[in-house]
């Protein structure tokens, strides 16, 4: 047992010496002395001026819509939910969409959303999550969600998943439509994080999804491709 400990200690010493030699070599090539003490970090987190920075409502809405469209999304604003639903009807007709999946939100029932699309198969996400429901999401032309927040400075919508709010609705369909109330648009991401902490503490939802524009990837040869890991067409409909 002692021989094993001696061997481990010897290996640790050898590794430490190799690391020191490597760092000394870098320092000499840079023609400066090697730093051996940890740097001081007098500041943590965002500066006070940024934490206090907040835009008025109309500017938040305008900046969010500008940033969302700037990264490839489409954005529209409506005074009422009924106006947003009429716009979705136009999108459905233009796309000739046959399959829709949506979150289970009371606004859809109040607006008679499903009744206004008699020729379209509409699936409502529910607690009975199974392969059939996920398959419906994967085959849907359009996924629709009432998202919880939007962030003006990053052009991001924030969707919290739950029993009747599956993340597959925003991830798997060809087109994703996010509906957000104007008053839920925040200036900074930190405001959303702070609000989530106040609402849930350490018992956060299973999934909190920050969606910024259409899916895009440059993993292969730095070639930008849209719609690889999610919807390639995204709408943000601001209500209010």
- Convert the pLDDT of each residue in 102-120 to its tens digit: 999 999 999 999 999 999 9
pLDDT of 118-133, one tens digit each? 999 999 998 888 888 9
Residue 85 located in a structural domain: yes
Task: Read off the pTM.
Answer: 0.79
> Which CATH number goes with the domain that contains 195?
3.40.50.10420
Residue 219: pLDDT band by 50, 70, 90 thresholds? low
Structure tokens at 17: 């010496």
Q: Is the pLDDT of residue 17 over 60?
A: yes
Higher per-residue confidence, 23 vs 216: 23
Measured over the CA atoms of residue 159, residue 211, residue 194 and residue 49, the dihedral's sign is: negative
The verdict on residue 24 lying in a domain is no
- Across the chain, what does the average pLDDT equal? 90
185: tokens are 């648009």
Tell me how far apart the alpha carbons of residues 120 and 232 are, in angstroms, rounded to a whole number. Answer: 21
- CA distance to 39, 64, 79, 88, 101, per residue, from 55 (Å): 35, 11, 20, 29, 34
Domain count, the chain: 1
What's the full length of the chain, in residues? 240
- Note whether residue 38 is domain-resident: no
Task: Classify residue 43: in a domain, yes or no.
Answer: no
Q: Per residue in 41-80, pLDDT tens?
A: 888 888 888 888 889 999 999 999 999 999 999 999 999 9
Tell me which residue has tokens 């709010």. Answer: 165
**Burial environment of residue 120 by CB neighbours within 10 A (0 to 12, 13 to 18, 19 or more):** middle
Question: Cα–Cα distance between 54 and 94 in angstroms, integer?
Answer: 38
| Residue 73 belongs to some domain of the structure | yes
230: domain range? 57-239
């Amino acid at each position: 047992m002692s021989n094993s400990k001696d061997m481990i200690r010897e290996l640790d010493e050898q590794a430490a010496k190799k690391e020191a030699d490597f760092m000394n070599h870098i320092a000499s090539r840079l023609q400066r002395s090697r730093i051996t003490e940890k740097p001081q970090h007098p500041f943590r987190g965002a500066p006070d001026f940024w934490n206090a920075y907040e835009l008025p409502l109309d500017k938040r809405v305008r900046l969010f819509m500008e940033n969302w469209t700037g990264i490839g999304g489409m954005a529209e604003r409506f005074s009422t939910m009924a106006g947003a639903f009429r716009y979705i009807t136009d999108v459905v007709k233009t796309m000739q969409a046959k399959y829709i999946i949506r979150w289970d939100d009371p606004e859809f029932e109040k607006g008679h959303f499903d009744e206004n699309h008699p020729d379209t198969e509409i699936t409502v996400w529910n607690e009975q999550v199974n392969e059939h429901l996920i398959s419906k999401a994967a085959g849907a032309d359009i996924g629709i969600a009432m998202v919880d927040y939007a962030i003006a400075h990053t052009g991001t919508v924030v969707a919290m998943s739950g029993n009747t709010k599956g993340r597959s609705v925003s991830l798997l369909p060809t087109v994703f439509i996010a509906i957000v109330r104007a008053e839920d648009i925040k200036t900074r991401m930190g405001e959303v994080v702070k609000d989530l902490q106040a609402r849930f503490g350490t018992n956060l939802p299973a999934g909190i999804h920050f969606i910024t524009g259409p899916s895009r990837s440059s993993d292969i040869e730095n070639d930008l491709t849209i719609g690889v890991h999610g919807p390639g067409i995204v709408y943000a409909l601001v209500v209010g």
